Amino acid sequence: MQPVEALSGRTVFIAGSAKNAGKTTFLNFALSRLRPLGRVGFLSIGVDGEERDLVFGNPKPRVRAQAGDLLVTTDRMLRASGLEASLLEVFSGSTVLGRLVLASVRRGGAVELAGPEHNLQLGEIINALRARGAHTVLVDGAADRLTQIASFADAVAVHVVRVDPLRLEAARDSLRLLYALSQAPALEGLDESSRLELAGALTRDRLAALPREVRGLVLEDSTKVFLTWREWKAARARLDIRFQRRLELGFFCVVLQDLSRDTFEAGLEPELAGRILYNPYEAVPA
């Protein structure tokens, strides 16, 4: 089974390293591979699928819906879309872009997506998509916004990163950190006598302020770690760090610009390199 097909039946959060990393392009690709395996439902955290980026103004890929899809957007965006759909549900509250709605697509076309700002309503919407028959739910997430993922027990993350020569080492270290966090051991087995449960974020300053006698540290989840790769390695050399909730990482989708795969993978750990799906629209294989 290919990495994308392995997402079938899951709640998939598509996170990214920055604006315009390629999350919406990956969403379109994933939808094309997952539709044959069961009905798909999808939404965004924020706004996605617009013709031009709302911040930078550059062209963006449209989200392409097909007949049978379930999607969440606003009533205003649904009316302005290029598709025909049946309105199934209207959610409480409103956004600056209109009321959030759940629709079933009758005739496909391009659409802008919008979604909730808070985890509580996000959970309500995901549950509604499941109740309406979505086998797989995809959430096009905002840049570096992983907190939502740890809130859902069945969720899996796909991290999309765009890499150019100027960001090569920083990108490698970012992937190393995310992979290491996803591989942290389970909470069971941690020595109770020297463990400390730390609420909130683990930052460089809070790490330095920990009592020397502390040997084990428990955090809510890996989204609470605000350290660099090198800081995390130094912390792990001193502390046994565990998470109350685990974040499952499916794979990384890496989009290379002016870089070869061999150059990007030079010095990269084999187990990490094995979790990479390169730009699925590349015409020439490695």
At 57 the pLDDT is 43
* pLDDT at residue number 286: 37
Q: Which amino acid is at 31?
A: L
Return d(Cα 123, Cα 267) in angstroms, integer: 40
* Region of residue 98 (phi > 0: left; psi between -120 and 50: alpha; otherwise: beta): left
Question: Reduced to 3 states, what is the DSSP secondary structure of residue 57?
Answer: coil
Interior/surface letters 121-139, b for 16+ CB within 10 angstroms, e for the rest: ebeebbebbbeeebbbbbb
Answer yes or no: are the C-beta atoms of 224 and 202 closer than 8 Å. yes
Mark the ranges of the chain whose per-residue pLDDT is less than 70. Answer: 1, 17-20, 46-61, 142-148, 150-151, 189, 281-286
Residues with Cβ within 8 Å of 84's Cβ and at least 6 positions away in sequence, in order, are 105, 106, 107, 109
Note the pTM of the prediction, 2 decimals. Answer: 0.86
Residue 128 · residue 101 · CB < 8 Å: no
**CA 179 to centroid of chain Cα atoms:** 13
**Token pair 């990956």 in the structure block, residue:** 26
Q: What angle do CA 94, 99, 101 make, to 5 degrees?
A: 130
Q: How far apart are CA 35 and CA 22, in angstroms?
A: 20
Q: What b-and-e string marks burial along 191-219, b requiring 16 or more CB atoms within 10 Å of the CB?
A: eeeebeebeeebeeeebeeeeeeeebbbb
Tell me the three-class secondary structure of 223-270, residue by residue. HHECCCHHHHHHHHHHCEEEECCCCCEEEEEEEECCCCHHHHHCCCCH
Helices 168-182 and 229-238 cross at an angle (nearest 10°) of 40
d(CA 158, CA 162): 13
